[in-house]
Structure 1
């Protein structure tokens, strides 16, 4: 943090990845004025007009990108969404990846204070361990959304500017960069700003390579979670028993403003009794099953996953997959 994974794009998001929503009806953008403004913004960052014009010269409008962003996977109900990601095939691939990179994953977990199964789960959900990193030229994706997608144009133009800085800093081949429809790249599907701010050179070879180097990708995913406040060993999300109408509002992407005490009630209680700080920040998560709603208590770590991709469905898929991975890895 999407495909947002190539199915998903961490607009954190990363995310990083966030829930993009469908295309809204809006007035067409004035691309000529926006281009002139973009060039001025890049000049303020140290690029000449000629450099930015050359950067934009090969950018093309891609209708497939606009079509893809209009039908995000997170718009599906949970009972349709989770079978896409929680599969035996992905679990087997995750265990293979974990075994192949056992020492690197353990070092990243220790260095950044992030549970190892979460690192492995993110890379598996995002790109099936490098198997599906996206088919869209990153330049075209960000140009298309920045200049032809009114609902999020400002955000994607900013990411386009970040891309120009990124390719200069990391000496990336612009004409070869491919990723998700939202412009996310590499094993962990980092957007340009997340790549610049959270990528690490975890193997010490002098380059932060998230495109072909799984070691750097593992360290970078761990660093992303560390920088967003992950608490190793702490609970992520807890199942609830619902016997009435919840009094608390279901979380919809805002900053955490409720506490555990605000959410729990005689009609909405923990499925398993356990000691829990009632004053800690939390969220109420609702998952749409085929015939009912399922409620969960999301804690700080769950919120951190949503900094990678803002959909609670995405965060729950990551959590449940991470638990599957941990159980299988512990048994192997």
Structure 2
């Protein structure tokens, strides 16, 4: 179990909104600015939000640069090919952990599934992939992580400074103790690894205690994951992904998903040389993306439908989305087989 800690933590940060696109001009400006200039920009932004200078100073005072954070963000696990990526998550231990988590929170999962329209196995799988059902929520101080990336990681400095600002607001709204708050190297926290902006936008108080606590309340975390999926277009009961084949001569590199919203219908893909691996009924009027999963030799291809795209809103990597989906199906089958 311990051996899986580091690769798991390396994946935490790539939750839902984390990989939101940043304009090139903004990146260039961030690369030219010094940390001192970026800090002043942050201070000005927070002043405009209504914080006072003493409040901002007190917020930033305990923050420290973390070299571990800066090193970790340079080696994302999603950069690996599928055949090296999926063994991290699709294990018997993780399936068993999912069954135990489902049994423990059966009532909550049923209520949440009915209220938000998201299947229990998807919620369980997300929490399983993100934190091994809460076992590994992260070891980095969230304040230090966002401070380091917001002022000392030029490629995404603007994005992480924005998250740092959200953290300041979140701490005030939910009375968070930042000295104790730990998460991933990119500032994601709790059972479902929400970054501050997602925490503020999608997290819900499901246990009714008047606070939204994604770090300690499993009920809040379960409902918040479901709410995130609902808000990003998940439709309960719909198909997720279908394996396909490419006709000889098809240029896959020009068709594989480019992280942008789906633009082609299933019917369009068929006209482009995509055919289903098995005969099956399919609504050809729905949009889909072409997913390529690299094997040790060759690759497999899939059409990711609306619900698959919804998973990528949690993490933009198609590898992540496929791992979540396959783990969810394994957990579901094993859970119902033992009832």
1:223 maps to which of 197, 206, 227:
227
1:263 maps to which of 263, 269, 279:
269
Q: 1:90 to 1:137 in 2, by over 3 A?
A: same
Task: Please say if 1:281 is aligned against 2:281.
Answer: no
Q: 1:245 to 1:316 in 2, by over 3 A?
A: farther
- Would you say the 8 A contact 1:18–1:307 is kept in 2? no
- Would you say the 8 A contact 2:191–2:218 is kept in 1? yes
CA offsets, 1:38-75, max 9 Å, x none? 11111111110110111011111111111101100000
The 5 A counterparts of 1:1-332 are: 5-11=8-14, 13=15, 15-18=16-19, 27=31, 29-246=33-250, 249-265=255-271, 267-332=273-338
- Would you say the 8 A contact 1:188–1:210 is kept in 2? yes
- Give the TM-score taking structure 2 as reference length: 0.91
- CA distance in 1: counterparts of 2:206 and 2:212, whole angstroms: 8
Deviant stretches of 4+, over 3 Å: 2-5, 16-20, 24-29, 245-248
Q: Which runs of 5+ in 2 are unaligned?
A: 22-26
- Would you say the 8 A contact 1:19–1:309 is kept in 2? no
- CA distance in 2: counterparts of 1:256 and 1:3, whole angstroms: 33
Q: 1:50 to 1:321 in 2, by over 3 A?
A: same
CA offsets, 1:140-176, max 9 Å, x none? 1101111011111110000000000000000010011
CA offsets, 1:249-272, max 9 Å, x none? 100211111211222258431122
Higher helix share: 2
SS at match of 1:173: coil
SS at match of 1:301: helix
Offset at 1:17?
4.2
- Would you say the 8 A contact 1:19–1:74 is kept in 2? no
- Give the TM-score taking structure 1 as reference length: 0.93
SS at match of 1:297: strand
- CA distance in 1: counterparts of 2:19 and 2:124, whole angstroms: 20
Between stretches 244-253 and 133-142, larger displacement belongs to: 244-253
- CA distance in 2: counterparts of 1:143 and 1:3, whole angstroms: 21
- CA distance in 2: counterparts of 1:200 and 1:313, whole angstroms: 28
Q: Which runs of 5+ in 1 are unaligned?
A: none
- Would you say the 8 A contact 2:288–2:303 is kept in 1? yes
SS at match of 1:175: coil
Q: 1:160 to 1:240 in 2, by over 3 A?
A: same
| Number of residue pairs matched by the alignment | 326
- CA distance in 2: counterparts of 1:317 and 1:47, whole angstroms: 41
